[in-house]
Amino acid sequence: MPVTDGHPELSRFSSADSGTGQGTLVAFLEAHKTLPRLMSAKSAMLGELRLEHARSVLDVGCGLGDDVILMARRLPPGGKATGVDASYAMTSQAERRARGLGLNVCFQTGDAASLPFADGSFDACRAERLLIHVPGPQRVIAEMTRVTRPGGRIAALEPDVGDVVVDHPDRDLTRVIVRAFADGAVAHSWIGRQLPRLFRQAGLAEVSACPVTVPVHPGFFRMMFGNHVSRLVADGTLTGGQASRWWSQLDELADSGGFLAAVLFFLVAATRP
C-alpha cells in the first residue's frame, strides 16, 4: 500500500496483505471510531438489520471485525455472526480481537464479488465503507442479495466523497483539491447517492435511504487527504508551496477552533423479496 507522510492510500485497501503500511491502515480504520455521528449511523444500521429476529448475519468487508462482534452481541441465543474480507491480514486480526469473548463468530477470507456461501445462507447482510472501493459495486450487491434469504435484510453505509465539505479561505485551491479527490482517490466517489438505485436494480424491496452528515476532526481529515495532496504535488497539479500554504491555513483554523469539515454518508437498507 503506497504511503506518503504516514497516511494510507485510500484507494489501495486491497494491498493490506502486502505488509507495507498495514499498521497505518489499521490506524485509519480505528480513527473512524472517533467520529460520533458515524458511530450513531452504524448503530442505526444495526437496527435496520432487525437482528433481534436473525439467526445468521454476514458482514461483507469486515475489516478488523468490530461490527461482527457488535452484531453477535445483538443476536438471539444460538445466533452466529460471520465476517468475510479479501485481506487475510484483516481477518487474522479480527479473529484475534474476537478470541476469548465467548461469542459465536467466524471470519474467513473471500471475494465480495463472489462470496463463498450458498444462496440464502443469512438472515441479514451488511457492508460499510466497502462499495466505494470495489471494482464492481453492482456485482457485490448482487452477491449480498444472493446469500440473504427471502425476507432477510440488507444494509449498506457508504460515504459520498463527491461533495466533501471543508471550510478554507482559499476556495479556488480547495475546489481543485476536493474535486481531484472525488475523481481519483477512490473507485466510486458517488456510491452513496447511487445506493438506493443500485439496491432497486438488484431487485430489493422496501428500500430506504438516510443521508448522514459526519463532521470530521483535523486529524482524521489529514489522514483522508494527506497522501492525496502529496500526490497532486507529485503530478504537478499543485506546487509544493501551494500545498504547504493550504495545510498551514487549515492548521491555523484548527488551532483557533475554527476548523470545519464533513463527509456525507448514506445509510441504505432493504428487504430481499
pLDDT tens per residue across span 194-210: 999 999 999 999 999 99
pLDDT band at 184 (very low <50, low <70, confident <90, very high): confident
- The torsion region of residue 9 among left (phi > 0), alpha (psi -120 to 50) and beta comes to beta
> pLDDT tens digits for 107-136?
999 999 999 999 999 999 999 999 999 999
Instruction: Tell me which amino acid residue 25 is.
Output: L
User: Strands across the sheet with 261-271, in order?
Assistant: 105-109, 80-85, 56-60, 122-128, 148-166, 261-271, 205-215
| Spatial CA neighbour of 264 closest among 163, 150, 147, 148 | 163
**Cβ 120 vs Cβ 238: under 8 Å:** no
Instruction: Tell me which amino acid residue 123 is.
Output: D
Rounded alpha-carbon distances, angstroms, from residue 219 to 205, 215, 250: 39, 12, 11
Q: ∠ CA(62), CA(63), CA(66), 5° rounding? A: 75
Which of 11 and 270 is assigned the larger pLDDT?
270
**Cβ 172 vs Cβ 150: under 8 Å:** no
- The torsion region of residue 5 among left (phi > 0), alpha (psi -120 to 50) and beta comes to left
Q: For the packed helices 88-98 and 66-74, what is the interaxial angle rounded to 10 degrees?
A: 40
Confidence at residue 10, expressed as pLDDT on a 0 to 100 scale = 46
| 3-271: CATH number | 3.40.50.150
> pLDDT tens digits for 234-247?
999 999 999 999 99
Spell out where 119-243 has E strands: 122-128, 148-166, 205-215
Q: Could you give the CA distance from residue 30 to residue 18 in angstroms, rounded to a whole number? A: 19
**Cβ 219 vs Cβ 35: under 8 Å:** no
Torsion sign (Cα): 238, 239, 242, 246? positive
> pLDDT tens digits for 75-90?
999 999 999 999 999 9
Residue 40 CB: number of other CB atoms within 10 A? 12
Torsion sign (Cα): 231, 64, 61, 30? negative
DSSP 60-117: ET-TTSHHHHHHHHHSPTT-EEEEEES-HHHHHHHHHHHTTS---EEEEE-BTTB-SS
